[in-house]
């Protein structure tokens, strides 16, 4: 019983971090450490084009999605992984926020079905 209570409290704290803008900083740090590998002195702003700007390639997108799923405890459907939704920190944060539990967001699939 105590373990469950601690998990619930940790989840509440984690949710607070996300509401306070943790998503962009976590993604920025992941890209800096795992994609750029410290080789570039690139400043990644919220609107920096990551994929279309050549900072992240298709393999890097796979790593980014794996990181997002693990870090934020969300799941991407294959049709949701595209250049548009993962091109900037702002778009990534928007997608992650919509996927978080309790966001009430739904996603339209290619077949016009809603996925919650």
How many domains are there within the chain? 1
Chain position carrying tokens 């079905």: 113
Q: 107, 97, 111: which is closest to 17 by C-alpha?
A: 97
Q: Does 41 map to a domain?
A: yes
Q: Does 110 map to a domain?
A: no
Query: Tell me: the pLDDT tens digits for 103-116?
Result: 655 544 444 344 44
Mean pLDDT of 54-73: 93
Top pLDDT among 41 and 61 is at: 61
Q: Does 112 map to a domain?
A: no
Q: Does 14 map to a domain?
A: yes
Query: Tell me: the pLDDT tens digits for 16-36?
Result: 456 546 899 999 999 988 887
| Phi-psi map region of 102: left, alpha, beta (phi>0 left; psi -120 to 50 alpha) | left
Q: Does 108 map to a domain?
A: no
Residue 3: per-residue pLDDT = 42
pTM over 0.75: no
Q: Does 106 map to a domain?
A: no
Q: How many angstroms separate the CA atoms of 19 and 5, rounded?
A: 21
Residue 14 pLDDT more than 80? no
Q: Does 25 map to a domain?
A: yes
Q: Does 114 map to a domain?
A: no
Residue 105: per-residue pLDDT = 54
Residue 33: per-residue pLDDT = 87
Domain that holds residue 86: 2-100
Residue 43: per-residue pLDDT = 80
- 56: CATH: 1.10.1200.10
Residue 22: per-residue pLDDT = 86
């Amino acid at each position: 019983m105590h373990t469950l209570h601690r998990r619930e409290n940790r989840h509440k704290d984690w949710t607070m971090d996300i509401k306070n803008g943790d998503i962009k900083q976590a993604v920025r740090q992941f890209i800096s450490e795992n994609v750029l590998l410290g080789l570039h002195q690139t400043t990644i702003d919220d609107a920096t084009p990551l994929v279309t700007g050549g900072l992240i390639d298709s393999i890097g997108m796979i790593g980014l999605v794996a990181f997002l799923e693990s870090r934020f405890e969300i799941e991407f459907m294959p049709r949701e992984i595209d250049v548009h939704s993962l091109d900037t920190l702002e778009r990534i944060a928007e997608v992650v926020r919509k996927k978080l539990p309790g966001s009430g967001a739904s996603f339209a699939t290619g077949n016009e079905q809603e996925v919650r």
